[in-house]
Amino acid sequence: MSDTRTLRIAMNGITGRMGYRQHLLRSILPIRDQGGITLADGSKITVEPILVGRNENKIKDLAAQHDVDEYTTDLDGIINDDKTDIVFDASMTSLRYGTLSKAISAGKHVYTEKPTAETLDEAVDLAKQAQAAGVTAGVVHDKLYLPGLIKLRRLVDEGFFGRILSLRGEFGYWVWEGDVQPAQRPSWNYRLADGGSMTTDMYCHWNYVLEGIIGKVKTVTSRTATHIPTRWDENGQPYDADADDAAYGIFDLETPNGDEVVGQINSSWAVRVYRDELVEFQVDGTHGSAVAGLQKCVAQARSTTPKPVWNPDLPVTESYRDQWVEVPDNDTFDNGFKAQWEEFLRDAVAGREHRFGLLSAARGVQLAELGLKSAAERRTVEIPEITL
Ligand SMILES: NC(=O)c1ccc[n+]([C@@H]2O[C@H](COP(=O)([O-])OP(=O)(O)OC[C@H]3O[C@@H](n4cnc5c(N)ncnc54)[C@H](O)[C@@H]3O)[C@@H](O)[C@H]2O)c1
């Protein structure tokens, strides 16, 4: 047992949707219950969560329900506790900068939900703080750990596409207004004053997806819309939904070998789904194309590409979808959040950088900020490189 190290993780915001379901229930508790993870040298690390929240009864109940020994309402106390190794935050975005700053200055490794801050200045400042303190910092980039996107990235690495030409993404579904049927997302998502906005919510995801699949994002041209101006809240009361509920973006991308790629992603809470999954990305290249969702990925090689001929006078005689082949898993995929947690824990014990750190997160906040600027000014905005 002497070669098993236990990492104590203060988990803030675990009563929330993401904190509870993805991070506690599907990541940290399964890692604990499987007996931790084995490192390359054969030693083991395991985890001990400490539940942190404002409502003592709530966290006490959760602790009892999941066999967790420790819980506290004293966030500052647990951050400064010598026995705490990692501080995790899935609380409200507006509180994140303060929590992470305190944790970094207490010398703790930090792992956090996105976005890391409400402004680019704060997001960059956090990255600087972590770099100066030499702690390991990780930010949730869950989409890149999903089977569909793992397989899409594998096709890029295999050179399947030849020269990549374009990426198009389609994301969204119908979010009910809340008058007759209750809405399936929280009302704050649709109020600007509460930090709601499709752009703020999704562009930080799209930044790491674009970087992770294609390469750097060089410019953004975005058009936002508030398609549904009135919605009904959790109490059945109407409110002004003044945040953008859709964002239509075009991105100039650059691959690591300098090729220019055109990216386009439509994101909308006011669209009805005629797709196989709630998000799908299509990549087209000179030698092949692929379409990936969260789980599935299909591909069509140049050599098996049909030759459609435009003739609007005749009905369609071939099934275009049947002309694609499914990319096999060739692997077993764990829950994406858990997989990233395990990678982060390995990095934290080794004291090395996590591949998705606070600088990557700052670029996500930057894309959202400049996406909104592009929409407000109705123009293409260049994305300057952030240096620490
Ligand atoms: N990675 C993803 O795909 C993804 C998806 C959704 C949300 N998120 C991010 O996760 C974070 C939480 O989102 P959520 O949907 O779980 O929200 P939520 O509203 O369900 O949870 C928020 C948590 O913060 C706590 N909290 C709220 N107000 C607080 C206050 N004043 N003081 C202290 N704690 C407070 C709540 O008790 C709860 O634990 C957000 O930053 C959001 O951007 C990420």
Per-residue pLDDT of the chain (388 residues; tens, 9 = 90+): 458 999 999 999 999 989 999 999 999 999 999 999 999 999 999 999 999 999 999 999 999 999 999 999 999 999 999 999 999 999 988 899 999 999 999 999 999 999 999 899 999 999 999 999 999 999 999 999 999 999 999 999 999 999 999 999 999 999 999 999 999 999 999 999 988 999 999 999 999 999 999 999 999 999 999 999 999 999 999 999 999 999 999 999 999 999 999 999 999 999 999 999 999 999 999 999 999 999 999 999 999 999 999 999 999 999 999 999 999 999 999 999 999 999 999 999 999 999 999 999 999 999 999 999 999 999 999 999 999 8
What are the structure tokens assigned to 65, written together?
A: 């329900």
Q: Strands, DSSP E only, in 113-254?
A: 137-139, 164-172, 216-225, 230-232, 238-240, 246-254
Buried b (16+ CB within 10 A) or exposed e, 334-351: bbbbbbbbbbbbbbbbee
HSE value, Cβ hemisphere, 13 Å, CA-based, for 322: 3
Please check whether residue 103 lies inside any domain of the structure: yes
CB of 16 closer than 6 A to ligand 1?
yes
Q: Which atom of ligand 1 is nearest to the CA of 337?
A: 1
Does one domain contain both 155 and 187? yes
Instruction: Please name the residues in contact with 161: beta carbons below 8 A apart, sequence gap of 6 or more.
Output: 155, 283, 284, 285, 286, 287, 288, 289, 290
CB of 84 closer than 6 A to ligand 1?
no
What are the structure tokens assigned to 141, written together?
A: 């980039």
Q: Which atom of ligand 1 is nearest to the CA of 15?
A: 39
Atom 28 of ligand 1: nearest residue by CA position = 92
Does one domain contain both 180 and 313? yes
Please check whether residue 322 lies inside any domain of the structure: yes
What are the structure tokens assigned to 361, written together?
A: 């997160």
Does one domain contain both 265 and 231? yes
Does one domain contain both 33 and 124? yes
CB of 360 closer than 6 A to ligand 1?
no
Distance 42 CA to ligand 1 centre (A): 36
Does one domain contain both 280 and 307? yes
Q: Is the four-CA dihedral 325, 328, 333, 337 of positive or negative sign? A: negative
Please count the structural domains in the chain: 2
CB of 140 closer than 6 A to ligand 1?
yes
What's residue 79's pLDDT? Answer: 98
Any idea what the CATH number is for the domain that residue 47 is in?
A: 3.40.50.720
Query: How does strand 164-172 pair with strand 325-326?
Result: unpaired
Please check whether residue 385 lies inside any domain of the structure: no
Atom 38 of ligand 1: nearest residue by CA position = 16
Tell which of 299, 332, 365 closes a domain.
332
Please check whether residue 169 lies inside any domain of the structure: yes
Atom 27 of ligand 1: nearest residue by CA position = 92
Q: In terms of residue numbers, what domain contains 320? A: 147-332
Distance 326 CA to ligand 1 centre (A): 36
* Site of tokens 């092949």: 288
Please check whether residue 376 lies inside any domain of the structure: no
Ramachandran region, residue 222 (left: φ > 0; alpha: ψ -120 to 50; beta: rest): beta
Does one domain contain both 346 and 302? no
What's residue 2's pLDDT? Answer: 54
Distance 329 CA to ligand 1 centre (A): 32
Peptide bond preceding 182: is omega within 30 degrees of 0, i.e. cis? no
Please check whether residue 361 lies inside any domain of the structure: no
User: Kind and range of the H or E element at 255?
Assistant: none
Any idea what the CATH number is for the domain that residue 162 is in?
A: 3.30.360.10
CB of 114 closer than 6 A to ligand 1?
yes
Does one domain contain both 174 and 113? no
What's residue 93's pLDDT? Answer: 87
Does one domain contain both 222 and 108? no
Ligand 1 pocket test target in 14, 17, 294 with most atoms within 8 Å of CB: 17
Please check whether residue 107 lies inside any domain of the structure: yes
Does one domain contain both 321 and 347? no
Does one domain contain both 267 and 351? no
Dihedral, 29, 30, 35, 37 alpha carbons, nearest 10: -110
What's residue 288's pLDDT? Answer: 98
CA 74 to chain centre: 28
Please check whether residue 43 lies inside any domain of the structure: yes
CB of 142 closer than 6 A to ligand 1?
yes
